[in-house]
A and B are shown apart, each in its own frame.
Chain A
Amino acid sequence: MMGKGLLSSDRARSFKERSGRVFLLLCALVSVATVLLISLFIFQQGLPMFGDVPVSQFLFSADWRPSGDPPSYGIASFIYASFVVTFLSLLLSTPIALAAAIYLAEFAKGRTATILRSSIELLAGIPSIIYGLFGIAVIVPAVRNTFGGNGYSLLAASIILAIMVLPTIINVSEVSIRAVGDELRQASVAMGATSWQTISRVVVPAARSGIITAIVLGLGRAVGETAAVLLVGGNAPIFPTSPISMGRTLTMNIVTDMSYAEGTHMSALFATAMLLFVFILALNLVVVSISRRSRMEA
């Protein structure tokens, strides 16, 4: 006969086991809950605006006069500025990032690899406010002296962003280049191709989906970045006509007015955040579908 004590201790153990499991599951669900709550709150605050302002006016009017009479809440200039800044920054950073990823995955050895890799990691670690400060002190005067204007411009913001997204693009594309099978490389070299031909015609095309993922991730970072662009972008609520004109991005718009906005104005800021949030979610879906498709191809 089994002792009663042993049985109950078994039960206690299995109870502990089960409650431990539930506790861990709850902790794992915090992230999901946070995402859901964030969406809930942002939408709850942002959606009421559309009672006062039609969607088309919000998205397509470039007239942002929240304190005007009548007030006007069009964020087209901010959408455009965000687009310009993101596009320019990716244009500047992608070639450098790809080169670094190729170099790290294919050539770098020993100390050079360590130096390059540590530098990229440290670049990723520098806070965005520091990039902003550096931007004001170095990039803004450089833009002013080279292209004219007052220097606080979309171009200055793009340059800073280009540096900031470098590590993201480098890391993700390096991983995907590394993942390309060695037999592909060997086959290419055996056919008499030079290493450049191998890289440009075999390795990079094979790593295509990973590289695209990297760029999309960089795009997400660039669109959402606030502190650095806020300091160098000029933050003027106008429709930017050239890269060297001042501009206000979506994120800048949210930060700038939040401290004093009320009513529909406040709601319009949350609607701006809503747009940004939806865009970031869409980018996530893009990343997921790219990786799924590449897995299916493989």
Chain B
Amino acid sequence: MLFEKKKQLTNDVALTIIKVLSFLAVALLALIIGYLIFRGVHKSERTESDVLPLSTLADAGFESAEPPVIVIANGKSNIRHLSWFTLRDMALGKVASLRKISSTDAPFFLYVEDSALEEASALLGIESRQIAASGAVVASRDEILVQAKDRKGSVLILSRGKEAGPADLPSGFREPVLDLYVLAANSSVVQLYGNNRVGTLSSDDVVGLLSGSVSDWSLLGGGDIPVDVLDAQKLGEQAAVRELSTREGSTAVMPASWYFHAKQEGLSIDLLKSERIDSGPNITWEYLTQPTVESGKYGGILSIIGNTFVMVALTALVAAPLGIAAAVYLVEYARKGRLTSIIRAGIDVLAGIPSIIFGLFGLLVFVQMFGWSFSLISGTLTVALMVLPTIIRTSEEAIRSVDRSLREASIGLGATRIETIVKVILPSAVNGITTGIILAIGRAVGETVALIYTIGSSTDFVKNLGSSARVLSMHIYLTITEGQSFDRAFASALVLVVVVLTINIIARVLMTSSTRRQRGKSND
């Protein structure tokens, strides 16, 4: 009795463990997909910035004075924040497009309201005629609003007007956050001490510094110097800059223009860089529909998606006829014997060869021997050879399961074998064959290693078979290995995963529908 009970208990425990372990696979899939979606949709990127983000200033309880001008941008520009340094570059005519400033790439235009010209030039430390000479349009408010409305990349500097308070934002425009303050410090602070120096400061670090809870620079990775916070606003520009350049360990929040003037005078003042957490939507419509800029640092991935589709279509175009023909041979013609077993062994071995070996083969044969260099054709042929076994195996199964009676009827009606194959067998096996091709496409679309030394990395849309073409998987690989933004890698990864999973689901649906049809037939 006791023995029976123990036996039953072991049984239950073992079966539960089996169930739990097997559902771990489902959990893993859910975790991976869920994480990819989360990171693909939401970004929270830490970037280094010369200016103090306004949010950090607010956290530190610093009351910043209202800017003397209002800066707005076209609503479609997607500019979220503008630093004093960027604004200055804009006013000097050094900015040609938005590609490095926002997620939208468009030619840049600056408009300055005539009554705001003086304030703007004072704020940015540029003479007003320099602004006018930079190509900026200086005109009345109504006029520049009309002109800027149709230009995606337009930024407008408007006067604040006599009456205080926020001006009404004209429709079709947005007001980016203006970061006009910097955290400046005496040069002693940012020097290298042994192997250490003060790094990029997080919002908490800045708050700690200004509130006095961080009393020594060594706490932030710098030298053993006490922190000395100056109140720059109270001191005024001249005094603040003078104090800062002479007092060791001193630091102060000040308008970027003060720092800039002091630097021009050669005073020993430096900037402490601070961290900006750029959170928000990651994958956006702009990301999907814009060309790539600087190997993916800026801009979108439109051309890369295009390249991927071209590569995959060509791969299928090469591999499908070959694979289907091989499958037809194996089912319809191959007799038991040495030749057939060699062919079968060849397919099995080919299926097991790691993609890195295929990559080397493509490099030696297509890239070097045929002299096609890193190109679409080299990459495509390499991947086509790789996916060949997938197509052969699935097609073979599909062709084999075509009813014998169909074959016999066709031959009986006087058709030749080839005619039977082309007109009877292949049409009835079409679902299974399509499944094979789709599965192969799914593999081709995600392949990376076989492409590293074959397809090249140009981010332009391919012009011909000989041009170098970056595809999605390679783009993710390069984005990571070149140490660019992780968030961008995840946005591309989400696109790739959605494509791959869609392909797999289509293949699965096709497969079930074809087996169901066959089952239905055999039930008749």
Chain A residues in contact with chain B, CB under 8 A? 13, 16-17, 20-21, 23-25, 27-35, 37-38, 41-42, 45, 95-96, 99-100, 102-104, 107-108, 115-116, 118-123, 125-134, 136-138, 163, 166, 170, 194-197, 199-200, 217, 220, 223-227, 231, 251, 254-255, 258-259, 270, 273, 276-277, 280-281, 283-284, 288
Q: Kindly provide the distance from the CB of B169 to the nearest chain A CB, expressed in whole angstroms.
A: 38
Q: Kindly provide the distance from the CB of A152 to the nearest chain B CB, expressed in whole angstroms.
A: 12
- Determine whether the beta carbon of A127 is less than 8 Å from that of B21: no
Other A-B pairs beyond A34-B361, A99-B18, 6, CB < 8 Å: A16-B418, A24-B328, A28-B334, A33-B346, A136-B486, A255-B356
Provide the residues of chain B in CB contact with A17, threshold 8 Å: 416-418
By CB atoms of chain B within 10 A, which of A31, A220, A251, A277 has the most? A31
Stretch at the interface among B4-12, B72-80, B95-103, B405-413: B4-12
- Nearest B residue to A27 by beta-carbon distance? B325
- Determine whether the beta carbon of A130 is less than 8 Å from that of B22: no
Chain B residues in contact with chain A, CB under 8 A? 7-8, 10-11, 14-15, 17-26, 28-30, 32-33, 35-36, 39, 321-322, 325-326, 328-330, 332-334, 342-343, 345-350, 352-358, 360-361, 363-365, 385, 388-389, 392, 416-418, 442, 445-449, 452-453, 473, 476-477, 480-481, 486, 489-490, 493, 496-497, 500-501, 503-505, 508
Provide the residues of chain A in CB contact with B493, threshold 8 Å: 129-130, 133
Provide the residues of chain A in CB contact with B418, threshold 8 Å: 16-17, 20-21
With known contacts A128-B448, A255-B452, A35–B356 Cβ distance under 8 A: no
- Determine whether the beta carbon of B11 is less than 8 Å from that of A195: yes
- Determine whether the beta carbon of A41 is less than 8 Å from that of B342: no
- Determine whether the beta carbon of A280 is less than 8 Å from that of B11: no
* Contact sample, A vs B, 22 pairs, CB 8 Å cutoff: A21-B417, A23-B325, A24-B333, A25-B329, A30-B385, A31-B346, A35-B350, A35-B353, A41-B365, A99-B20, A100-B21, A103-B18, A107-B15, A129-B448, A129-B476, A133-B493, A163-B32, A195-B15, A251-B356, A258-B453, A280-B357, A284-B349
With known contacts A99-B21, A123-B28, A284–B348 Cβ distance under 8 A: yes
Q: Kindly provide the distance from the CB of B435 to the nearest chain A CB, expressed in whole angstroms.
A: 12
Provide the residues of chain B in CB contact with A99, threshold 8 Å: 17-22
* 8 Å CB contact of A41 from B22, B39, B364, B500: B364
Q: How far is the CA of A21 from the CA of B335 in the complex (A)?
A: 13
- Determine whether the beta carbon of B35 is less than 8 Å from that of A138: yes
- Determine whether the beta carbon of B11 is less than 8 Å from that of A194: yes
* 8 Å CB contact of B504 from A125, A134, A200, A259: A125
Provide the residues of chain A in CB contact with B489, threshold 8 Å: 133
Provide the residues of chain B in CB contact with A224, threshold 8 Å: 352-357
- Determine whether the beta carbon of A27 is less than 8 Å from that of B322: yes
By CB atoms of chain B within 10 A, which of A20, A217, A258 has the most? A20
* 8 Å CB contact of B25 from A31, A120, A138, A217: A120
Q: Kindly provide the distance from the CB of A254 to the nearest chain B CB, expressed in whole angstroms.
A: 6
- Nearest A residue to B326 by beta-carbon distance? A28
Q: How far is the CA of A194 from the CA of B4 in the complex (A)?
A: 10
* 8 Å CB contact of A133 from B30, B329, B480: B480
With known contacts A130-B496, A133-B489, A225-B354, A194–B8 Cβ distance under 8 A: yes
Q: How far is the CA of A281 from the CA of B349 in the complex (A)?
A: 7
Q: How far is the CA of A21 from the CA of B342 in the complex (A)?
A: 17
- Determine whether the beta carbon of A123 is less than 8 Å from that of B325: no
- Determine whether the beta carbon of B329 is less than 8 Å from that of A38: no
- Determine whether the beta carbon of B504 is less than 8 Å from that of A122: yes
- Nearest B residue to A224 by beta-carbon distance? B354
Q: How far is the CA of A138 from the CA of B31 in the complex (A)?
A: 10
Q: How far is the CA of A89 from the CA of B191 in the complex (A)?
A: 47
